[in-house]
Amino acid sequence: MSTPSSPNKPIREAIKARQREVARQTAEMKWVSGIEDLEQRPPAPTPLPPKPVKVVVPPQPDKRATQTVDYGARATQTLEIVRERASWTRRQLFTLLAALTLASLICVGASLIAAGDAFRGATPTLQPLPVVQANDVIARLRQVGVLLSAVQTVSVPNSIWTAQQETRFTAQQDADRGTFIVLSYSSANLAGADAFRASLDKTWHTWHVVQINNVLFLVAPDAAPKLTAQLESHLTSYLVAPYRWGLATATPTLIAVLS
């Protein structure tokens, strides 16, 4: 028993045939269009050949033909070399002399330092000066032969001096004559303070004042210079020379007694 055919089958087959016909016509149209595009497209330009580059090479001179010998320039160069070597020699000589001079100075300096150390080692340590009284100074002057007169002890301290002892005396040698004062203090600082005040006092600023440690030695303005120098020499030999290296002891000088 056969199956009756569907009444729509001829229509579907006609639609499919129509679709195949449209696809074929579309393909033919694309192919024809591509051929027309190729025919209408302008041809690609032909590349131009590269231009030749011209290289100009300057002519090289013939060294054998153009080279000349300048004997004057060569002699000048030789002289300059000799002078340069001579300057090197002078520079080296100067350096050598400078080095020798520096070495000599170093040797001399080392010798002086060594000598100074040896001298300081040989020098005895300074001893402090003695602290003495006015009576001790008067006794020393008499011991070395100084004959004194009008010896007077003044009570101190007073309104003028802050000393511990004060002694006034007169001395004369031949025609030289003078009045002197010896003051002693407990310290050199106090003696210096009185010496400063005396330099400002209207009465004592004209007197010559000598300070030796804690002792003041005052010289009247009218005292003879030669006699003053002799008394100061005796005081130095008594209070300073035994305690300071290099000071000579003065030779005693006899001074006449005033009657």
204 with 221: CB under 8 angstroms? no
User: Averaged in consecutive runs of 10 residues, what is the pLDDT profile of the chain (259 residues)?
Assistant: 61 83 79 64 66 65 54 61 59 75 82 70 73 94 88 94 96 87 96 94 94 95 93 91 72 40
Q: Which of 258, 210, 250, 209 is nearest to 230 (CA)?
A: 250
Cα 201 from chain centre: 49
**Domains of the chain by start residue, with CATH:** 134-243 (3.30.1360)
Identify residue 58 by its one-letter amino acid code. Answer: P
Torsion angle, CA of 21/26/28/32, rounded to 10 degrees?
160
Q: What's residue 156's pLDDT? A: 95
Q: What's residue 132's pLDDT? A: 95
Q: What's residue 253's pLDDT? A: 45
Q: Is the pTM of this model over 0.75?
A: no
**Residues 6 or more apart in contact with residue 201 via CB below 8 angstroms:** 160
CA distances from 259 to 110, 135, 146, 170 (A): 64, 22, 14, 11
137 with 181: CB under 8 angstroms? no
Q: What's residue 75's pLDDT? A: 59
